[in-house]
Copies of this chain bind each other. A is one copy, B any other.
Amino acid sequence: MKTRKYTAAGLALLAPALAASARQKPNIVFFLVDDYGWPESSVAYGEEVYPRNLQFHTPNMERLAEKGVILTQAYACPVSTPTRTSLMSGMNAAHSHITNWTSMARDEPSDAVGGKNGAAIYEELDTDIFRRPEWNINGLCPDGVSAPADVQIATPVVRLLRDAGYYTIHVGKAHWASAGTPGSSPYNMGFTVNIAGTNAGLPKSYLGTDNFGNTPELWNMSAVQNMTEYYGDEIFLTEALTREALKTLEYPIEHKQPFYLYLAHYATHTPIQKDDRFFREYKEMGLDNGQSKFSSMVAGVDKSLGDLMDYLEKKGIADNTIIIFMADNGGNADVKSKGGVPHTQCAPLREGKGSCYQGGIRVPMMVYIPGKTAAGTRINTPVVPEDLFPTLLELGGVRSYQIVQPVDGKSLVPLLTKGSRLAAKAAKKGEITDQKSANAFVIPETVSGIDPERPIFFHYPHQWKVDYKPEVDFLSTVIVGDWKLVYVMMNTVPGQRVADGVPLELYNIREDIGEKHNVAAQHPEIVARLAKVLGDRLRSWNASMPIVRATGKPVPWPDEIVL
């Protein structure tokens, strides 16, 4: 295997300032929320406050927004594992071929169509148009160990942080890989401590009174491990994980070691359950049961963030602790238990989790770098999960390292620091006066090192659930500035007419945030240009594509199809 070497010269310029010495290294908290939609908080990431924002009260997220930077155009993959593995490897999901969530058990594709090994997950039906693509169904595997089949091997960013002196702590959901593979254990990914991170992508139950799923009636492989202390207690998993996280911080704080805490809540993934501490508040607002339950879960996450910030302040280390707040994919808009009207949960965005429409991929994100980010600013440059790999290394002062994988992302540090300061200056000068103008403020590449119009890619060549859904399944997309091309693979098959009925849709996501108006017919030259950008990239990554059952051939690249 080829090893790639990186040295400081190849990294952004701020690194030396952030990493003067091991003693001064900042702590880093990565606070990851699961299945958590862009408008599902009282922090308004958009140009305005949307009705959906009003169903949440998240004062601690607001507190972080005031201290740090809001990234108004943060993106993630449509489902969990691809985002999580991209964070860990720096690779785009289409490039690592981890484009779907990994099953709990090894060698079982999670595709809802064309499941290998027979009916491990779902049966392939004669009526299916596509077979599932070949992809790395077992997820990510760290380098240096004996790797199973169907994995992407990578040097995990956490190991690099650890090698650089960080005390690395995993609390919550891991879900980089299936059981029976090294990637399912946070210890193999470079974490020194692990609480509750396994192969599972969701908790069997959030309730201590259910033993988090560890009962004869409830148990399956998603029962949460390592939490026996709370069995039978009236406690919600989010709270229990937070307490465990703070407990694990004692060691590095006592020993004055910089820490990397990856606190990846299982919330707000299904099952949608009532967090009793917050439910009544939402019910009394008039929300239905499902909505109130979900909002109570969000409030629990918000309290967790607040408790963490309080703790850091109490310990006197808040001024040396970076906080990265993010969701792993869009909010779930296709689950009855969440209440409300299906497919509207991410409104004004279209659809939700699973989809390459904005509801599935545009996510909440905030970053606070003490002394470096300008407080209360907004950055609208699009950012992607693979950017976090070089970002974390730069934040951690890791300037020279060897890795086995190619990295697709770019460090966000100059964007977050110099970029946010530029925004603050513009506000002072009166160039930014309100939320709308803040969201519109462009940070040039000369400042951030990132072209605000760099193409970003999301690729979901899968069927998510048993029933095919045109809004979700077999989609691929590229965004370039305001323009977004959506490749509806099903429409490449003769006789199929799903969604708008054409294989290539075009949206101006600035003017049409909800992707309601496909303007492909009006801008054939933009369609052709973006199709070429997307096609070139997918080809260069040898991206996984579904197989057309009728022909046995893969779906064509987007720039190969005849319009």
Chain A positions within 8 Å of B, measured between CB atoms, are 105-106, 162, 167, 179-182, 184-185, 187-188, 192-195, 198-199, 211, 214, 216, 219-221, 225-226, 228-233, 244, 247-248, 251, 255, 257
- Given known contacts A226-B225, A247-B187, A180 and B233 CB-to-CB distance under 8 angstroms: yes
| Contact between chains at B228 and A179 (CB < 8 Å) | yes
Docked CA distance A255–B248 (Å): 18
| Contact between chains at A231 and B192 (CB < 8 Å) | no
- Given known contacts A211-B179, A221-B214, A251-B192, A228 and B187 CB-to-CB distance under 8 angstroms: no
| Contact between chains at B184 and A229 (CB < 8 Å) | yes
- 11 A-B pairs with C-beta separation under 8 A: A179-B211, A179-B232, A180-B229, A182-B229, A184-B229, A192-B193, A193-B193, A199-B228, A214-B221, A216-B220, A255-B257
| Contact between chains at A198 and B248 (CB < 8 Å) | no
Chain A interface main SS type: loop
A140 → B minimal CB distance (Å): 13
Which residue of B184, B219, B228, B247 is within 8 Å of A228 (Cβ)? B184
A256 → B minimal CB distance (Å): 12
Which residue of the partner chain B has the closest CB to A243?
B187
| Contact between chains at B180 and A232 (CB < 8 Å) | yes
A107 → B minimal CB distance (Å): 9
Which residue of the partner chain B has the closest CB to A199?
B228
Residues of chain B with a CB closer than 8 A to A230's CB: 180
A353 → B minimal CB distance (Å): 24
| Contact between chains at B106 and A229 (CB < 8 Å) | no
Residues of chain B with a CB closer than 8 A to A182's CB: 229
Residues of chain B with a CB closer than 8 A to A198's CB: 226, 228
A320 → B minimal CB distance (Å): 19
| Contact between chains at A229 and B105 (CB < 8 Å) | no
Which residue of the partner chain B has the closest CB to A233?
B180
A327 → B minimal CB distance (Å): 24
| Contact between chains at B192 and A105 (CB < 8 Å) | no
A228 → B minimal CB distance (Å): 4
| Contact between chains at B106 and A231 (CB < 8 Å) | yes
| Contact between chains at B193 and A232 (CB < 8 Å) | no
Residues of chain B with a CB closer than 8 A to A216's CB: 219-220
Docked CA distance A178–B376 (Å): 47
